[in-house]
Amino acid sequence: MAELGAARVRYDDARWQANERSGRIDFTPLDTAKPRLDPVELRVLGDAATCSDLARQAFETGHYETRSLEPKPVSIGGKTGQRFDAHTGCRNATPRGVVICVKVAGHAYLLQALNPGCEGRNLFSGIDPLEEIAGGISFAANDAR
């Protein structure tokens, strides 16, 4: 298990390596999961900005088309959030970038799978890059007001 603020993340340590850093946890796929999964990052920020603005800022790390970002409702750890998918501006077939934003206890939690370049996992794997990590997130009851 890894912890970040009010977020608790249970994950399969045979498939993922978690590196906790200041304000974030980096999840790196291991062994046989590497070709099918992209790295995932969970960050915690102040919640002054909207989820749309935070997603746009996150997508600036790569070659993403952000003019028509449409949020989709999601639930992470029992909290309602927004999911944003953005296509790359790359010519080759690269996976979409994904950012999920959930606001809890005065903080914004961003779960993201982004590629800074024009490479990434197998597009035809059928695996959502955030599904496995997102499914393991819960928020501490005393911090999740």
2-139 under CATH 1.20.120.1200, yes or no: no
| pLDDT reported for residue 17 | 95
pTM of the prediction?
0.88
Q: Give the pairing type, strands 97-104 and 79-86.
A: antiparallel
Average pLDDT, the chain: 86
CA 10 to chain centre: 15
**Distance from C-alpha of 116 to C-alpha of 135, rounded to nearest angstrom:** 25
Q: What is the pLDDT of residue 119?
A: 67
Check residue 90 and give its pLDDT: 76
pLDDT tens by residue, 41-57: 999 998 889 999 999 99
Q: Are 114 and 84 in contact (CB under 8 A)?
A: no
Assess contact for 110 and 101: CB atoms under 8 A.
Answer: yes
Separation of alpha carbons 101 and 108, rounded Å:
7
In this prediction, residue 120 carries a pLDDT of 61
CB 103 within 8 A of CB 127: no
CB 54 within 8 A of CB 108: yes
Q: If DSSP codes are grouped into helix, strand and coil, which group holds residue 52?
A: helix
Give the list of residues 6+ apart from residue 90 with CB closer than 8 angstroms, or none.
63, 118
pLDDT per position as a tens digit, 96-135: 889 999 999 899 999 998 876 776 665 555 667 788 899 9
Helix ranges (H only) for 14-121 are 51-59
Per-domain residue ranges for the chain? Answer: 2-139
Q: Tell me, what's the pLDDT at 145? A: 46
Percent of the chain with pLDDT strictly greater than 70: 87
